[in-house]
Amino acid sequence: MKLLVTGTAGFIGYHLAKRLAAAGEDIVGLDSINDYYDVRLKYGRLAELGFAGAEQWPEDSALRQSAAYPNLRFIKMNLEDAAALKALFAAEHFDVVINLAAQAGVRYSLTNPDVYIASNIQGFLNVLEAVRAYPVRHLVYASSSSVYGINTIQPFSESGAADHPASLYAVSKRSNELMAHSYSHLYGIPTTGLRFFTVYGPWGRPDMAYFLFAQAIMEGRPIDVFNHGDMRRDFTCIDDIIEGIVRIIGLIPSGVPQWDSIQSGISPAPARVYNIGNGKPVRLLDFIQALETELGREAKKNMLPMQAGDVPATWADCTALERDTGYRPRIEVREGIKRFVEWYRGYYKNEESYTKNEKIDIERFGAPGIIKNEPAYDKQKFPDGRM
């Protein structure tokens, strides 16, 4: 089976490509390697996949062979380049497409909305058009728990409302679900969207809270703890996310004829949406304590009031995922944090080299590696949102 995995230099895409390549699948990875955050981390992931020296490649959109996996190739390409994308589909004849490429981050969408329309809307439309022109067995794509927006009915269920987003990032992800459904309905393309809940783990994104907390704790800087720590999040380890995706690949939707015209997440069209979350909300202070334990240092906490527009808890209902795949995320937070910190220490070597080479102006940008010369983020006015 030949699979296209977009976003291969990203957090989830890297782990998925590695898992599938190790299993012997024929994989083509694709990524634009943008500089939303430090590209050295992205090139580090590619090096782990057998593409050492990728930062020296010319801008030629050529397929390159992995030195680690004979069944893995990679191409640097932007999904916004519709012609190049269709040429790739025409040449490769993919069986399955897993679209994980997107502009990530809630905060960044507040100051750079155009990027989300170009990457997450136009880019995804180009994927849909390529799949329509060159049919595949299954299109799997990344959505987000952010689509639940200001919904307060928990646990969040795919059958519930997702019509009140709190950020343009969430809008772009919900739009992807609606776009995919329309193509499933019109052209019979089997599509499955996956609503990821607060993903964390080794090789993670440095703009996520747990990564920022680890950096601050190691540097002796205080961390901002909102709602005085009275918050819960459905943290999901990357290993659970990957297992869920792998099981979904072969679960090709065929439609639900008995749909009641009300429920979201299912349809008479061959389109499905699933939550992938741990299903066990964890107190934010317990999560921070797990980080403190593994890092061997106590965090200096700025206890702050609730951010305007934020929610006190997120909670994934994974009943549908477990029913249809036989799998339910099961890695506890302490184990997941242990895996993250082991990687973190190894990757950054020691506090001195990390502080010298990787320190980012978090006070101004709120996240490492954000493109420079953007206005400061007003953390009292806008919520962080959810991945």
C-alpha distances in angstroms, 213 versus 62, 117, 230, 340? 38, 30, 17, 12
Annotation says 169 is catalytic: yes
The candidate with the shortest Cα–Cα distance to 360, out of 36, 91, 31, is: 36
Residue 253: asked if its preceding bond is cis (omega within 30°), the reply is no
Do 158 and 274 meet the contact criterion of CB atoms below 8 Å apart?
Answer: yes
Torsional class of 154: left (φ above 0), alpha (ψ -120 to 50), beta (otherwise): beta
- The residues with which 61 forms a beta bridge, in sequence order, are none
Could you identify the residue written with the tokens 């015209």? Answer: 261
Which two three-digit tokens encode residue 362? 């978090």
Residue 377 identity: Y
Out of 36, 169, 200, 344, which one is annotated catalytic?
A: 169
Beta strands 64-65; 72-76: pairing state: antiparallel
C-alpha distances in angstroms, 143 versus 41, 66, 115, 375? 23, 28, 17, 27
Which residues carry out catalysis?
A: 169
